[in-house]
């Protein structure tokens, strides 16, 4: 059974139960989503209502109600919904262009719906209502706020039990809670929603990721550039963003000139490319930028590091000839595979996002670009799913969703083929024939948004980062004040060797110091007492391995440097 059909059918069971218990409630929509389903109601439900609704849903499941489709005229549908005082459904009906519409009925409940559905309510073997949230009708804050009830269902109780177990594990790994507990980042409402402030430890973590990114990009032949955070509006009119992306952009007007906080880095890279005449011998030309961009997101969808308004991308644009296009895309695929593996992500899903309804360029160019991406994915042996109509307006793309240790999906690398922006900006190179030609642009990110990737990384490792990424790699702890001078000496030595170290010299019991370090997920604890100071050694403890015995300083430094260099996980 397809999950989305099961989940959508369960949303109808939820609505059936709600109408039984709260007969006058007005209904919104109840779709299947990426994980489970929801239904929107114009009623002030609270979490305390969910157990009662679940009990009623169980009765409906046991009643073995059949899902039956009924096709009626729009006029008949309008009359039925008006009599039932379903104003939201009437709005949905008005947006349907067909002369006839369908309803699905189970028991006493009928809902305007295209379907499909399962045969009977009894096919839902296990379900759970998870939470409630507020949701504006049609996602517009100018519309009424509805109550959204989220749920999940499965074909067996064991599947539900495993899902709930992973859900509890995910709560422990929530990057927002860990980000606060480990003092990595904050979001301040007085500064603005969706804007990230990195604390010292968070900045160290981000810097380690960035340093590695820069090293690997240099090895791959990328040239690093930097572009301003704002640009004149005309630049974004040429690119097409003002026509196709304006609802996500921030506009500024000063001294009668219009500027834009850049939502993307590509126009800036094009301007750098155009500073001089390029030859076919210069291509492929790979520009790389850790570019901070700004995109308007509705307040209701902002979520920690995962959905923000200002973020930094490991963004690159490759200018190449059509003949080299497949080779370059394949090279990017192998690059992101290597990078994801280094950070501990070995599983991912690949999607090919195709032409949307609104786009620039010709269908022929789009078909060609989509075909090239498909050919490369096949050549690289990557299974993929077509994501119909989900490309951005200037070119199709490969979207990669990486899987964490709980098998959850996170948006990661993207590779986009673009014939259109080079044409709109008049980008050229001189070919072997001495004539000007238009290059193809590849837009790509390897990790994507640094903020979103960091959120995924925090949850994947539950804050227990590998040594090379850990903001603090070693914490020195003294058992007695007699070891304080020795602790300072060891700390200075570690700092000289490039090891990130802190010292806990408080006059507290060592057990409490260890507990605090464990809670802060410090990889190594160097415990120093009078005996260690006399022997010039360290008693070492690891956050997961426990007591590791005594080490001489040079030996320990070599062990740590080796682990850092090899990026062991």
Whether the CB-CB separation of 249 and 235 falls below 8 Å is answered with: no
> From the first residue on, what is the mean pLDDT of each consecutive set of 10 residues in the chain (569 residues)?
92 97 94 94 95 97 96 95 94 92 95 94 96 90 93 96 92 94 95 95 96 96 97 93 91 93 95 97 97 90 91 96 95 96 92 91 91 95 93 91 87 93 95 96 95 95 96 96 94 96 94 96 96 94 95 95 89
Question: Which residues are paired to 82 by β-bridges?
Answer: none
Which CATH architecture best describes the domain 3-171? 2-Layer Sandwich (3.30)
- The predicted structure's pLDDT at residue 172: 92
- Angle of CA points 286, 457, 465, to nearest 5°: 115
- The predicted structure's pLDDT at residue 511: 94
Residues 393 and 388: their CA atoms lie apart, in Å, by 13
Residues 70 and 89: their CA atoms lie apart, in Å, by 16
Handedness of CA 559, 561, 564, 566 (dihedral sign): negative
Q: Among all chains, which residue has been given the structure tokens 């929530």? A: 174
C-alpha distances (whole Å) from 38 to each of 27, 135, 167, 423 are: 12, 11, 17, 44
Topology, domain 213-458: BirA Bifunctional Protein; domain 2 (3.30.930)
User: Do strands 185-186 and 197-198 pair parallel, antiparallel, or not at all (unpaired)?
Assistant: antiparallel
**Domain 474-566 of CATH type 2.40.50.100:** no
Residues 327 and 90: their CA atoms lie apart, in Å, by 52
Domains 3-171 and 213-458 share a fold: no
The region, left, alpha or beta by phi > 0 then psi within -120 to 50, assigned to residue 89 is alpha
C-alpha distances (whole Å) from 360 to each of 141, 240, 415 are: 30, 8, 18
Cα 489 off chain centre by: 43
Taking the domains of the chain in order of start, what are their residue ranges?
Answer: 3-171, 213-458, 474-566
Residues 140 and 510: their CA atoms lie apart, in Å, by 55
- Residues annotated as part of the active site: 266, 295, 313, 315, 317, 397, 443
Residue spans of beta strands (DSSP E) within 113-243: 126-136, 145-154, 185-186, 197-198, 223-224, 230-232
Residues 24 and 444: their CA atoms lie apart, in Å, by 51
- The predicted structure's pLDDT at residue 75: 94
C-alpha distances (whole Å) from 426 to each of 122, 243, 347 are: 61, 19, 40
C-alpha distances (whole Å) from 248 to each of 126, 219, 371 are: 40, 35, 29
pTM for the whole thing? 0.85
Q: Among all chains, which residue has been given the structure tokens 């994980």? A: 35
C-alpha distances (whole Å) from 509 to each of 67, 250, 333, 482 are: 66, 53, 52, 14
Cis peptide before 284 (omega within 30 of 0): yes
Residues 513 and 527: their CA atoms lie apart, in Å, by 10
Whether the CB-CB separation of 236 and 252 falls below 8 Å is answered with: no
Residues 488 and 409: their CA atoms lie apart, in Å, by 44
Secondary structure in 3-state letters for 182-213: CCCEECCCCCCCCCCEECHHHHHHHHHHHHHH
CB neighbours of 505 closer than 8 A, spacing ≥ 6?
Answer: 478, 484, 487
- Angle of CA points 322, 356, 29, to nearest 5°: 155
Sheet holding 347-353, edge to edge: 223-224, 285-294, 310-320, 440-449, 409-418, 397-403, 347-353, 385-387
304 closest CA partner among 202, 174, 209 = 174
């Amino acid at each position: 059974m397809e999950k989305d059909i099961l989940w959508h059918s369960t949303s109808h069971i939820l609505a059936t139960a709600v109408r039984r218990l709260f007969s006058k409630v007005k209904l919104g929509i109840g779709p299947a989503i990426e994980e489970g389903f929801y239904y929107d109601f114009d009623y002030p439900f609270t979490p305390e209502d969910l157990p009662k609704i679940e009990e009623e849903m169980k009765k409906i499941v046991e009643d073995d109600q059949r899902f039956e489709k009924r096709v009626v005229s729009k006029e008949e549908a309008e009359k039925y919904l008006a009599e039932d005082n379903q104003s939201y459904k009437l709005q949905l009906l008005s947006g349907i262009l067909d002369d006839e519409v369908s309803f699905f009925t189970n028991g006493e409940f009928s809902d305007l719906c295209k379907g499909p559905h399962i045969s009977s309510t009894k096919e839902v073997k296990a379900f759970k209502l998870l939470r409630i949230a507020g949701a504006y009708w049609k996602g517009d804050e100018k519309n009424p706020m509805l109550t959204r009830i989220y749920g999940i269902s499965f074909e067996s109780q064991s599947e539900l039990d495993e899902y709930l177990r992973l859900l509890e594990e995910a709560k422990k790994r929530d990057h927002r809670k860990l980000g606060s507990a480990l003092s990595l980042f904050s979001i301040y409402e007085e500064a603005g929603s969706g804007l990230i402030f990195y604390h010292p430890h968070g900045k160290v973590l981000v810097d380690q990721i960035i340093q590695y990114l820069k090293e690997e990009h240099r090895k791959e032949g990328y040239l690093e550039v930097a572009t301003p955070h704002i640009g004149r509006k005309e630049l974004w009119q040429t690119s097409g963003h003002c026509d196709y992306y304006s609802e996500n952009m921030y506009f500024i007007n000063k001294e009668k000139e219009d500027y834009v906080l850049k939502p993307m880095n590509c126009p800036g890279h094009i301007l750098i490319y155009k500073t001089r005449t390029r030859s076919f011998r210069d291509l492929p030309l790979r520009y790389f930028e850790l570019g901070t961009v700004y995109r308007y997101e509705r307040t209701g969808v902002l979520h920690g590091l995962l959905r923000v308004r200002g973020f930094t991308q490991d963004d690159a644009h490759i200018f190449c000839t059509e003949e080299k296009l497949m080779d370059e895309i394949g090279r990017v695929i192998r690059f992101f595979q290597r990078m994801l593996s280094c950070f501990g992500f070995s599983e991912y899903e690949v999607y090919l996002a195709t032409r949307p309804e609104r786009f620039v360029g010709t269908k022929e160019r789009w078909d060609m670009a989509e075909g090239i991406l498909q050919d490369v994915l096949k050549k690289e042996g990557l299974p993929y799913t077509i994501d119909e109509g989900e490309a951005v307006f200037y070119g199709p793309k490969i979207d990669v969703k990486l899987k964490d240790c709980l098998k959850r999906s996170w948006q990661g690398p993207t590779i986009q083929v673009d014939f259109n922006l080079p044409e709109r900006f008049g980008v050229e190179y001189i070919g072997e024939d001495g004539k000007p030609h238009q290059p193809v642009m590849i837009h790509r990110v390897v990790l994507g948004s640094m903020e979103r990737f960091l959120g995924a990384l925090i949850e994947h490792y539950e804050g227990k980062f590998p040594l090379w990424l850990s903001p603090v790699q070693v914490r020195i702890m003294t058992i007695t004040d007699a070891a304080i001078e020795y602790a300072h000496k060891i700390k200075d030595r570690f700092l000289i060797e490039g090891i990130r170290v802190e010292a806990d010299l408080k006059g507290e019991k060592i057990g409490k110091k260890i507990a605090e370090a464990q809670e802060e997920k410090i990889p190594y604890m160097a415990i120093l007492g009078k005996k260690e100071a006399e022997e010039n050694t360290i008693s070492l403890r690891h956050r997961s391995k426990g007591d590791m015995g005594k080490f001489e300083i040079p030996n320990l430094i070599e062990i740590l440097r080796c682990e850092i260099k090899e990026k062991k996980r």
